[in-house]
Structure 1
Amino acid sequence: MSQTRQASYGLPAGVGAIAVGSFEMTSATRFDWHRHPMHQLAWAASGVLAVSVGASTWVLPPPRALWIPAGIVHAVEASRPATMRSVYVRKRGCEIGWTEPTVVAATPLVRELLGLLAGAGASKRARGHAERLLLELLQPLATTPVALDMPGDPRARRVAEALLADPADARTLAQLGRIAGASGRTLARLFLAETGAPFGQWRTHLRMRAALEHLAAGTPVAVVAERVGYAGASAFVAAFRRQLGVAPGAYFAGC
């Protein structure tokens, strides 16, 4: 069962425009829904993070980070052990004007600057230079988040939770109805009404979200395809391309 912790971070007194906090996340750790009065850059120094805003989720391996504007309600989780490094930036004087969560490249230089800012040895002048350079280096990457609304009705919710536990489950909606106490037709109506997507599309989104976490962890495409319910790598790659616009091998490229 997932551990759930409410994240509450402040900007320490006496620092400049930026503070950096590190958080060790065990398997299935979750920082539940929260917001910050300052901007945040969420980055996995090791492992993989999944950051959710509403129904959308961004999966972040170390080459990527997510800029979260101040006031945006979000949650962060890790399905495997990870080290989360969070950069907090005061709104005042910040020239970054992104109003929506934005994926950026965590280049080697960006990572070095994060390490310097996380330490205590840099002078005030060095920190100031590093802060300004870090913000100048943040470059947006074209990334499509995966949207996955969960149904509220307890019958549809039982089906959704079963598929979350095993994305490769190939049972039809009528067959899944046996665990929910509802007909396939009723469940189809509930999924469309409560998630805004037909059941087949909803299940595809769920599989893509699971696939992204496996891919970000370096799992081979053929293995990922099997784990998320596709008959083979080619069928999975075709579905991935339809949903996210690029092949799995290109999704995390260019970082």
Structure 2
Amino acid sequence: MFLRIFTATACAAAIAGCTAYSGPTRTTDIVTLSNGSQAYRVQCLGLLESSKACMDEVKRICGDKPATRVSSIDHITSDLKSENDPREITFQCSTPVVQQPIPPAPAAVVTPVAAPLVAPAPVHHAPVRKITLQGDATFAVGSATLTPFATAKLDDFVAANQGVDVDRLTIAGYTDSTGSAELNNRLSAARARSVQGYLATAGLRASAWDVQGYGSASPVAPNKTAIGRAKNRRVEIQVDGK
């Protein structure tokens, strides 16, 4: 009995203060430890009680929280031997540590490999072998100056014959039957040379050039009507080669 009182006194020295409330088989105190924190103290000192009553009270108080034992006083037999049967337990209810789930490793990002760019095969257009500049839309009346409409048609002709080996390029100028033969021959030749100069400047190359003015010869329509005469005023361009 002396040892129990001595042990209880030593335990109480470590406790700064307490608040007690009791049940029919045990006594429960809320105590303040020397470090300032609070704890519970359960005493089960009745003759018919055991440490199980204390442990049941510990579980009731802490519930799902784990209990951390601060100190305990064992039951002592008459021969002063411990029975390993604690009848006084001072404990604290700990907050359970929640194991955080380990997030899954991020999925590997697979960067698609772009397919190599394949240059499209060049499109080869068949060369234009012959075009005709015809009517007043290609030359002003009595003039060898090319109109914008005529130069646009000649640009298309040059583009269609890029890369073509031109052996001979024939340019033939014609007029209608109005005016003198001398004037018509000179005007048709001047228009043919005007076309030749533009084609050469635009990059069309030929091994040989045949540039002639034929006046009112070889009409393609009757000269009796304005429409027919417009058709006869023309320059014919033709390429020979691969």
TM range (shorter): under 0.3
Looking at secondary structure, tell me which structure has more strand per residue: 2
Larger Rg: 2
